[in-house]
Amino acid sequence: MPGDSFGHSFRITTAGESHGPGYVVVIDGCPPGLPLAEADLAEDLARRRPGQSRIVTPRDEPDVPEILSGVFEGKTTGTSIAVLIRNKDQRSRDYIDIKDTYRPGHADFTYDAKYGARDYRGGGRSSARETTVRVAAGVVAKKLIASAFGGRVIGYVRQVGGIVADIADPAAVTLEQVERLPDGTPNIVRCPDATRAAEMVALIEQVREARDSIGGVAEVVATGVPAGLGEPVFDKLKADLAKALFSLPAVLGVEYGVGFGCAVLRGSQNNDLFYVAEAGASSPARRIATRTNRHGGMLGGISSGMPLVLRAAVKPTSSLPREQETVTASGEPTTVSTKGRHDPCLLPRFVPMAEAMVAIVLADHWLRWRASGRDSA
């Protein structure tokens, strides 16, 4: 069905449910000759997998990818790539007591309204576990944009609750800063500001003890993106990036550049002034750039050559081990307390999901741009 696919020239289609046998993604449009192995997919899947630290869900899924097609002798063939990730640690019994009850904040009611039936085990098709295969597809997209134009996508946690990281230059953040603290230990919250990271971890542990959850903001930065990507007027790069991020579970807001901050600025304050940047380490040739980047790397819905900077607001986890008022499918008032294993904060595992969707959009738009007769060369 149309809602299971995303993209045009680089297109992904996913299938699967949280407590079914597993998930599969079919990737169409990847050019031949791109080096790809299951081990390449494993790193980002490990960043997304449950059970990775004390501040995420303890569900223990190995998330081992199996490439079923589209790769031969370590390189893509140009045909459809299929990747399977099997579910191993389902506990469907946790959901039997609430199969006829609508959980606040979940898609139980709306799925019933749309289909007249739903898989109540862990949310079925609406579960965030579907993003496992999106992350796998995102790895392919990351490799493609790196090969095509030196593109790189890095995400990190910018905010948890009222704690906001101090990031002087989003484009300078490295994967090492996101994944490791200065002392070399794992950065389990994925915030590159070590001081704020410790505060975020403490807050997440606090809300878990209170049988509650907390939301926040993830920031995603794409560098090396050439000017010219985007398809006016309805397939603007910013529009497709917004759709990509909004398609992820729990996202309630998306902004780029200065975002909603533009509402209090004057035009003279908001405009990014152009200049000619001389050749240097970051660019082998002179190029037109802007002195600031309030436009977040996109003007008129087309990439400007400046870093793309996007943020997604992620709501608190809806599944709570405390009684909440609700109704049954027949309209009877009741209460519900969700069993199972759930994240007290979605942000640490959300980061690779957001990276994947941004990379998929960039791969798609680069292929569309190339088909028009132009490329980054």
CATH number of 2-257+293-371: 3.60.150.10
Q: Where are the domains of the chain?
A: 2-257+293-371
**Local structure of 66: helix, strand or coil:** strand
Amino acid at 56: V
Q: What is the CA radius of gyration of the chain?
A: 21
Q: pLDDT tens digits for 202-212?
A: 999 999 999 99
| Residue 63 to residue 346: CA distance in whole angstroms | 18
Query: For residue 123, is pLDDT > 80?
Result: no
For position 117, what pLDDT does the model report? Answer: 84
CB hemisphere CA count around 98 (13 angstroms): 28
Look at residues 345, 310, 354, 316 and name the one whose alpha carbon lies nearest to residue 44. 354
Q: Give residue 377's pLDDT.
A: 44
Cα distance between residue 88 and residue 97, in whole Å: 22
Look over the chain and give the mean of its residue pLDDT values, rounded to a whole number.
93
Using a pLDDT cut of 70, give the percent of the chain over it.
95
Cβ–Cβ under 8 Å, residues 102 and 327: yes
Query: Residue 376: is its pLDDT beyond 50?
Result: no
Over residues 114-122, the mean pLDDT reads 83
**Average pLDDT in the 64-77 region?**
98
Contacts of 267 (CB under 8 A, 6+ apart): none
CA-based end-to-end distance of the chain: 37
Torsion on CA atoms 254, 257, 260, 264, rounded to nearest 10 = 180
Eight-class DSSP state of 18: T
pTM value > 0.85? yes
Residue range 20-50, pLDDT digits in tens:
899 999 999 999 999 999 999 999 999 999 8
pLDDT tens readout for residues 192-230:
999 999 999 999 999 999 999 999 999 999 999 999 999
